[in-house]
Amino acid sequence: MIFEGPGKPLRLIERELPVCGPREVLVRVSACGVCRTDLHIVDGDLTEPKLPLVLGHEIVGYVHALGEEVADLKLEQRVGVPWLGYTCGTCSYCLSGSENLCEQARFTGYTLDGGYSEFTVADSRYCFPLPGGIADAAAAPLLCAGLIGYRSYRMAGDAERIGLYGFGAAAHIIAQVACHQERQIFAFTRPGDEKSQSFARSLGAVWTGDSETMPPEPLDAAILFAPVGALVPLALKAIRPGGVVVCAGIHMSQIPQFDYELLWGERVIRSVANLTRADGLEFLALAPAVPVTTSFETFALEQAEMALECLRSGAIEGAGVLVVDPNSRADR
């Protein structure tokens, strides 16, 4: 499914099978998650996509071919391919464990072709072996909603009372992790969204309400999964002195002016940029222990445009997933 620029619908085409370079693998795609970042690309909020582009960065697939220098993966191994698809490996960020900030980074489904396709090429360094016991379509949301959500969750530190603003793909995964670790989740949704609030309560949220309502007690931290800048001052108002507001998205609408009093008291606002391989390995080891169960709705590859519109409207409970190869070994 090719994206040719903002305002243009995705188009189904056929093209030659891609060839992997020495350090790359050719992946036969089984499933690919549909992420809000894909919407930001389609809508032109993220302004530097490779064009034409194959979207998709929550890829689950099987190694179909190996580059000549690849030694740590094998043919037919199941792997996950995330948003961060390449880093230089030599800059100060890469050498200090902050490869997510590498200025030469490339991104799957944005500056590299992604998983809205039957096959894709990926840097072998950024392919995660996936744990067994979870079907391919169920595993796909872990590759971004899970990984970015987990990095955002870690930035909340040892917070006991955590507010999640926007209860979609990432929030429904992180709520399970937090409850497993005996923390309290307060879920904030769009006004009147009783469906999402009920979903949050089913996953262990101790309180639910709309985003403009104050929680019954001050929060230690708030994570903003909804890309709405107006939520920042609301979240600051909801947290205690010394608390943190974590902005988890790659894009956010303009943050409105607010009084310094909301920030005072050593409250902190911080953003999350991409992920590291260490984040991925840590989360993918933790997820089966919780265990994390993903809620998702599936679409065929040619229904990618429909899936994006369902995500935009909030019609999907949990995550949307394109099932690219319905004959894959989904029991692995």
Q: Which residue has the higher pLDDT, 225 or 314?
A: 225
Check pLDDT > 90 for residue 56: yes
Q: Kindly report the number of other CB atoms within 10 A of residue 278's CB atom.
A: 12
Phi-psi category of residue 7: left, alpha or beta, with phi > 0 → left and psi -120 to 50 → alpha: left
- What is the reported pLDDT for 331? 43
Average pLDDT of span 300-329: 90
Count of positions (residues) in the chain: 332
Of 70-74, 86-90, 124-128, 131-135, the range with the lowest mean pLDDT is: 131-135
**Residue of 241, 182, 179, 231 whose CA lies nearest to 210:** 231
Average pLDDT of span 203-208: 97
Task: Report residue 328's pLDDT band, with 50, 70 and 90 as the boundaries.
Answer: low
Mean pLDDT of all residues belonging to the chain? 95
Average pLDDT of span 271-286: 94
Check pLDDT > 50 for residue 73: yes
Hey, what domains does the chain have and what are their CATH numbers?
2-144+274-323 (3.90.180.10), 156-271 (3.40.50.720)
- pTM recorded for the entire structure: 0.92
Q: Which contacts qualify for 245-248: CB closer than 8 Å, 24 or more apart?
A: 245/221, 245/269, 245/270, 246/152, 246/155, 246/156, 246/221, 246/222, 246/270, 246/271, 246/272, 247/271, 247/272, 248/148, 248/149, 248/152, 248/170, 248/223, 248/224, 248/272
